[in-house]
Structure 1
Amino acid sequence: MLSAISAAQADAWVRVNQIGYLPGDPKIAVLSSDEPLAGEFHVGDFNADVGVDHGAWGPFAHNYRLDFSDVKSAGQYQVKFGAVASPKFAIGDDAYASVPAKLLEFMQLQRCGDNPLTGKCHQEDGFDVVTGELVDVTGGWHDAGDRLKHMITTSYCVAALFLADAEDEARHGAQLIRKIHPHPQTIYVQIGDDRDHLPPETLWHDDQSNYGRGPGGPRAAWPAIGAPDGPTHQNKSTGVANLAGRSAAALALAGDVETAKSLYALGKAKPGVAMSVPVRAPYYYGESSYFDDMEWGAIELYLATKERPYLDDAIKYAHQAQGNPWMGADRHGHYEYFPYVNLAHWRLYSHAGPEDQRKIAGYYREGLERIRLRAEQNPYRLGTPLVWCSTNDVTALATQAALYEQMTGDVTYRQLGAEARDWLFGRNPWGVSFVIGVPEGGRAASRPHHLFWKLKQHLPVGGVVDGPVSKEINDGLKFGNSFADDELARFQSDVAVYHDLFADFSTNEPIIDGTVSLLLLLDVWK
C-alpha cells in the first residue's frame, strides 16, 4: 500500500477551502492524481481511508473525496496524504471573520466619483443620450475591471448590501439609485458604454474618455426605453420592471419610501426587462426575468410601510416568478437570470400564510434538487453551469441552500451549499481562491483583468472574479494573449478553463455583484 502512495505522490494534489470551515460545516477535500491512489489521509489527529475512486473529471484521471467533517476543534490544519499536503486552513467560529472587510475593501476601491486610489473621477457624468440634456448621475461604483456603471448590478448591490448589514457601503450606492430616477417615467440603465474601451487604456483609466463632448467630459447616460436599444448592436429590452422593481427594493431598504414607491409604480406600468446597451461590441447584460424583482420591490415596500396591497402584490409576483430556470441547466445567457437567487422569496416567506409558504419553499427546493442531481456527476459536486461569471451561479446556489435551511429547518442541502462555497475559496481543480488576494498568503487570483492592476500594479484585493468557463466559451472569445505564460496550464481541461492572467476578461475580471453576493452569503451562512 505504501509503495502505491509514493509512486503517485509526485502527481497528486489536495484541494481544500483555503479559508476554512465553521465547526459544524461539512468538510470534504478532493485528492486528485494521474494514477490510482490508496491509503490513509490525515487532518491533525484524525485519519481515514481515501475511499473510492470517483473517476476522471477535468484535468485529473482519479479523484477522491476526503471527508473530515468530524474534525471540529478550533485551529489551523492541513490535509495530508503521504508527502502531499493541502494549503493551511482554519476551523473555528471565526474562520471567516476577516473576509467581509476584504470584500468591502474592493467595493470601496470601485467607488465612482471618489475612490481611495485615484481620488476624484467622472465628475461630469453624464448626458441623456435621448434628450442631450446634462443629468447628474455621479457616484455609485465602477462595475468591474473597467469604469462603466451598470444599474442592473448597482441596484442589486445596494439592496444586497443592506441585507448583509453593510449599511455604509449600501448608502453610498443608494445615492446613485435615487439619481437614476429623476422623473416618474425615467430610469437610467447604464452610465458610460464601451466607447470607454477605446485605446489607449490610459485614457479611460485617467477619466479622459471622449463621448463627443471632449476628453474627460460627460459620459452617456442611457435611459431604459422599454424596447430594443443600441446604435449598432441592439439589446432585446421589453420593459423596465426588472430594474425598477429591484431599485424600489434598494430604496425601500434605504428608507426612501417615496422614491421606492415611484420606482415600483414605474415597474408596474412598464412590465418587461431592461437590458444594458451595446454600442461598439455586441456584449450586453441580457436579463430576462422581472417577476422576482417586482416581488422584491413589493415585499420591501410592505416591510417599510405595512401597507397590505404591497404584500398581496409580493405573493402574486412570487407565484409568477416561481423557481429559477437556470438551476440544473448546462448553460444560460449572460446575466439572463440575474441575480440568480430570488432573495424576495426569503424576505416574503415569514409574512406569507402556510399554503404560500409551502409553495415558496418548494420553489427553492426544486432548484436545489435539480442542481444536486447534476452535482452528483463529478467529484467536486459542482452543479452550476460553467458560463461567463460562473462564480455568481455558485454563490447563488450556496446562498439559496442557506436561506432554504433558515426558512424550513430542512438540512438536506447544507452539504451542497457548503461544497459550492468551498469551490470559491480554492477547492477546485486549479486550487485557486477566486477572491483576489484572499486568503493573504494563500493561492488566490493575483493577476486580474483590472486596470488598476495593469497600469498601477495595485491589486484590487477582495474582488470576486468571474471564475471558470467551459472550454467552448473560452475558445470562442477574442483575447490579446495566447496564454503562453499560464501557470495553471496543467489544470486546464475540456471541462473548464480558468486563467489567472490579465488578458482573460472572461474568467479573471472582478465584478461588484459577485463580490456583494459573496458578502451576503457569508452573512447568511453564519
Structure 2
Amino acid sequence: MRTRLLFISILFSAFNSLNAGDGWIRINQLGYLPDAIKVAVLISEEDIRIEQFQLRNAITDTVVYREKTKEYDASVWGMKSAYRLDFSKFESAGGYYIQINDIKSPCFRIANDVYDGTADFILNYMRQQRCGYNPYLKDSCHLHDGIIVDHPTKTGRKIDVTGGWHDASDYLQYLATSANATYQMLFAWLNNPQVYGDKYDSRGHKGKNGIPDILDEAKWGLEWLDKMNPAYGQMYNQIADDRDHVGFRLPNKDSASYGLGRHRPVYYITGKPQGLSKHKNRTTGVSSSAAKFASAFALGANLLKEYDPVFARKIAKKAAEAYEFALSDLGVCQTACNLSPYFYEEENYVDDLELAACELHRLTNKEYYFEQALKWGAVEPVTPWMSSGRARHYQFYPFVNLGHYYLSGKRDIYTDYLKDGLQFIYERCDKDPFLNGIPFIWCSNNLVVAALTQARCYYNTTKDSTYLEMEAALRDWLFGCNPWGTSMICGLPAGGDYPQLPHSSITYLLNETTHGGLIDGPVDRSIYSNLRGIRLLKKDEYAPFQNGKAVYHDDMGDYSTNEPTMDGTASLSFYLSSMEKEGNRN
C-alpha cells in the first residue's frame, strides 16, 4: 500500500510539470491496458536525432525495457522532430515513465483497471446538463417550456416540453443531438451492461434505485423525446435559439429573452427552411429528425421493458409511427438560428433511416424493417466526412453509422463498409506522429469518438487488427497523447492535465470544471480565426504547440475548442465501457 501511494504521489506531481530538455513526451495519462498497443510520442522544436528510448520503473528508476524509435513528420504540428515510441511488447503491470536523454515523460500506469469507472464518470456531465430539475444545482430551470412557433395552426400555444439536456454551455435543446445522445447511451448498455453501476436514482441524486445509472440517464432523454413527439405526425425539433447567447449565467438564473415572457420558443418540424429572422436553415424534409426519434424509441423500448414495461410499450408504438412519418417527407431537418448564421447543417438522412429500420427490426423481428435497413444502408456505404476528410458544422450527423454495425452481423458487405470508412481515415494519418486522420472541424473530438466507435465495432465483428494502432492512437489522443499533452475530458484522469477552464457558466461562476464533459477539441487554424466572438481571457499556456494544423486553448473565452458538449460526451459511453470490459476480461 505504501508503494502504491508513493507512486500515485509521483504520478500526480509529474502531470503538473513540463518536460525538461529538448522536447516533450506525450502519453495516455489514464494509462494502458497490458495487452493493448502502447505508444507515446516525442515532439521537439529542435532538430534532434534519437535512435532508442527507455521505459523505466517509476519507483526504482530501473530500466525495464528498451526499444527503437520511429520517426514521423513533425512539421504537421509545427515541430522539427517527432517520434513514435512503441512499447507494446512490454506487458507487465506497474507504474512507469519514458526517458530519452534528459527528456522524461509524466508517469503512467499499465494495468487492467485503468479504464474502470470511466464510463460511469462521464455521466456526471450528463446529470449536470439536465433541464427541468437539475441535480447538480439541486434546483429547477426552464419550467415554462414552451411556446410553439412555426406551426400552421398552433403557433403561440403552450406546450409542456420541460426536461432533457442543455446542448452544451448554452441552454438550447436540439432533437438531433438529444436523440443521438440517448441512443448512444442505450447502445453502450446494450453492448456492455456489465460495467455500469447503480449509484444514483432517477432524479440524479446519490442513492441506488435498482436501475443502472446509464439507463436512468437514457430514460431521462426518452421522456423528453416523448414530450417532443406528442402524437403521430407532430414533432418538435428544438427549444430556444441563439438569442440564448447572452453571456455566462446558471440555467436556474436564465435571463435570455425571446419576447415570450418566461417561455422559450419550441420549433415545430415543418420540413421546410426555418428561421424566425433573416437567417434561415436549409431544411428539405422531416426524415433525419423523425428517424432519430424512431431509433431512440425502438432501442429504448427494447431495453426498458424490464424496468418500465408501460413506458416501453408506449415508445415502441411511437417508434413505428415515427419511422412511418420519416418516410412521408424525405429530406433533412436542420436546427434553426436567429441572430447569427450558425446552425447544425445536417445534410444526410439515409443513415438515420437505416438505423431506425435496424432498431425496429431488432425490436419486432419484422422482415419489412430488415429490407428497409438494407435499402437505406446501401445508399451511403461510408459516412461522407470519413471519405472526404472535410465537413461543415454537423453536416453528416450522427458522425458514425451504427446501422452498418447491426447489419454487418448479417451481411458481409456492411463489414466492408465499416472497413472502407476506417481505411479513408487511415490513409490520411500515415505521416502524422499522432496517427490522427480526423478533419479538424468544429467539434473534432466528436469525430475522434466516432472513428473510435467504428474501429471498435469493426474489430468486434472481424477481429482484424489492421486498424488497432490507429484506434489506440485516437484513444490516447483523448487522454493526452496530443501536441498539447492534455486530456480532452474534464476531470479525467484525476490529478492529470485536463481542461481546467472550459467555456462554461459552471466554471465561470462556480469555479469548477465540468466533470466528465468531452470538450469540442482542436480546430483548424482557419476555422478558429474566422469564428465570431472568440476572445482569449488569459495568456496561452499552450503557445509553443499552436503552430501546427490545429489549435486548442484551455480558456473560457474559446467556445470553438474548449466547450464541452452533451452529445459528444454521451457518444463516449460505448467506447469507454468497451475498454473497461476489455480490462475486466483480463
Structure 1 contact 112–138 (Cα < 8 Å) conserved: yes
Structure 2 contact 72–432 (Cα < 8 Å) conserved: no
Deviations 1:216-238 (A, max 9, x none): x1111011211111122011111
Where does residue 245 of structure 1 map in the other structure? 291
Out of 313, 325, 328, the position equivalent to 1:266 is 325
Aligned sequence identity (%) = 38
Where does residue 96 of structure 1 map in the other structure? 115
1:457 aligns with 2:532: no
| Post-superposition offset of 1:483 | 5.6
Amino acid in the other structure paired with 1:31: L
Uncovered stretches (5+) of structure 1, i.e. residues with no partner: 1-7
- Cα distance between partner residues in 2 of 1:450 and 1:484: 15
Deviations 1:405-433 (A, max 9, x none): 11122221111111111111111000011
Distance 1:30 1:226, change over 3 A: same
Q: How does 1:508-519 map to 2 (within 5 A)?
A: 508-519=562-573
Deviations 1:183-214 (A, max 9, x none): 21221111111111135x43866123222222
- Cα distance between partner residues in 1 of 2:40 and 2:143: 48
Where does residue 135 of structure 2 map in the other structure? 116
Out of 435, 439, 449, the position equivalent to 2:489 is 435
- Give secondary structure in 2 for the equivalent of 1:253: helix
Distance 1:58 1:212, change over 3 A: same
Where does residue 153 of structure 1 map in the other structure? 177
RMSD (CA atoms): 1.7
- Cα distance between partner residues in 2 of 1:402 and 1:203: 37
| Post-superposition offset of 1:39 | 4.6
Q: How does 1:175-254 map to 2 (within 5 A)?
A: 175-198=223-246, 201-202=248-249, 206-214=253-261, 217-231=262-276, 232-254=278-300
- Cα distance between partner residues in 2 of 1:482 and 1:209: 24
Amino acid in the other structure paired with 1:46: Y
Structure 1 contact 147–205 (Cα < 8 Å) conserved: no
Deviations 1:457-516 (A, max 9, x none): 132111000000011111111235256511111110141100100000000000011111
1:21 aligns with 2:32: yes
Structure 2 contact 140–252 (Cα < 8 Å) conserved: no
| Post-superposition offset of 1:299 | 1.1
Where does residue 454 of structure 2 map in the other structure? 400
| Post-superposition offset of 1:362 | 1.4
Structure 1 contact 205–451 (Cα < 8 Å) conserved: no
- Cα distance between partner residues in 1 of 2:224 and 2:442: 27
1:366 aligns with 2:420: yes
Out of 158, 162, 165, the position equivalent to 1:134 is 158
Distance 1:128 1:73, change over 3 A: same
- Give secondary structure in 1 for the equivalent of 2:407: helix
Q: How does 1:269-418 map to 2 (within 5 A)?
A: 269-350=328-409, 352=410, 357-418=411-472
- Give secondary structure in 2 for the equivalent of 1:521: helix
Residue range with higher mean Cα deviation, 268-277 or 35-44 = 35-44
- Cα distance between partner residues in 1 of 2:70 and 2:255: 59
Deviations 1:425-460 (A, max 9, x none): 111000011101211111111100111111221321
Residue range with higher mean Cα deviation, 136-145 or 480-489 = 480-489
| Post-superposition offset of 1:116 | 2.4
Where does residue 257 of structure 1 map in the other structure? 316
Distance 1:54 1:281, change over 3 A: closer
Structure 1 contact 226–239 (Cα < 8 Å) conserved: yes
- Cα distance between partner residues in 1 of 2:361 and 2:338: 38
Distance 1:328 1:303, change over 3 A: closer
Q: Whose RCO is larger (CA < 8 A, sep 6+)?
A: 2
| Post-superposition offset of 1:56 | 2.5
Structure 2 contact 405–418 (Cα < 8 Å) conserved: no
Uncovered stretches (5+) of structure 2, i.e. residues with no partner: 1-18, 57-63, 190-213, 302-314
Distance 1:213 1:475, change over 3 A: same
Structure 1 contact 54–378 (Cα < 8 Å) conserved: yes
| Post-superposition offset of 1:321 | 2.5
Where does residue 46 of structure 1 map in the other structure? 65
- Cα distance between partner residues in 2 of 1:87 and 1:205: 40
| Post-superposition offset of 1:53 | 5.4
Distance 1:462 1:16, change over 3 A: same
- Cα distance between partner residues in 2 of 1:83 and 1:169: 47
| Post-superposition offset of 1:326 | 0.8
Distance 1:79 1:257, change over 3 A: same
Amino acid in the other structure paired with 1:207: D
Amino acid in the other structure paired with 1:99: T
Moved over 4 A (4+): none
Q: How does 1:35-74 map to 2 (within 5 A)?
A: 35=46, 36-44=48-56, 45-52=64-71, 54-74=73-93
- Cα distance between partner residues in 2 of 1:411 and 1:272: 37
Out of 537, 541, 545, the position equivalent to 1:491 is 545
| Post-superposition offset of 1:159 | 0.8
Amino acid in the other structure paired with 1:228: P
Out of 29, 45, 50, the position equivalent to 1:34 is 45
Amino acid in the other structure paired with 2:95: Q
| Post-superposition offset of 1:158 | 0.7
- Cα distance between partner residues in 2 of 1:295 and 1:89: 42
- Cα distance between partner residues in 1 of 2:371 and 2:530: 46
- Give secondary structure in 2 for the equivalent of 1:225: coil
- Cα distance between partner residues in 2 of 1:52 and 1:304: 50
| Post-superposition offset of 1:318 | 1.0
Structure 1 contact 9–82 (Cα < 8 Å) conserved: no
Where does residue 199 of structure 2 map in the other structure? none
- Cα distance between partner residues in 2 of 1:391 and 1:55: 21
Distance 1:520 1:203, change over 3 A: closer
Amino acid in the other structure paired with 1:495: K
